[in-house]
Amino acid sequence: MNATSRHLLTLAAALLVASAFSLPANALWGHKDKDAEKAGAVLFRDKGCAHCHGADRAGTKKAPSLVNIRKNKLWTPDKMAGQILNGGKKMPPFSDSLSDQELAQVIAYLRSKHPPVPPPLTTAAAN
């Protein structure tokens, strides 16, 4: 096997592995699932997103509003995932604290037409 063939084989294997890891999250992003939106609302609150973006997603001095992000064609689910996982100017990365499923749930919440309100924190959950 020559160098070019090895390179193509390595590239094909890398693409296969990458697509296998991204498939579950991508499959959920297009799914209109109220349970995913509710779970995303809880994650938005519990992972600290609401601290900077506001509990109502209207933004604060720390971070911009996310209320109309679903209408912004530039913010595709993939771009949202990249921002959440890798962070941004002032935003920390969340790649170490979100699973693929949780990432998909947060994105479902951000893209929901009628975002659910997370249930109140219980005393046990707050501690």
Q: Is 16 within the bounds of a domain?
A: no
For the full predicted model, state whether its pTM sits above 0.85: no
Q: Is 35 within the bounds of a domain?
A: yes
DSSP string, the chain: --HHHHHHHHHHHHHHHHHHHHHHHHHHHT---HHHHHHHHHHHHHTTHHHHH-TTS---SSS---TTGGG-TT--HHHHHHHHHH--SSPPP-TTT--HHHHHHHHHHHT-SSPPPPPPPPHHHH-
As for how many domains the chain has, the answer is 1
pLDDT at position 18 is 52
Q: Is 105 within the bounds of a domain?
A: yes
pLDDT at position 116 is 87
Q: Is 118 within the bounds of a domain?
A: yes
Residue-wise pLDDT tens digits, 56-100:
999 999 999 999 999 999 999 999 999 999 999 899 999 999 999
**Under a CB-based contact definition with an 8 Å cutoff, are residues 29 and 70 in contact?**
no
Q: Is 66 within the bounds of a domain?
A: yes
Q: Is 97 within the bounds of a domain?
A: yes
Residue 117 confidence class, pLDDT cut points 50, 70, 90:
confident
CATH of the domain at 48: 1.10.760.10
Q: Is 75 within the bounds of a domain?
A: yes
Range of the domain at 35: 23-126
pLDDT at position 109 is 96
Q: Is 6 within the bounds of a domain?
A: no
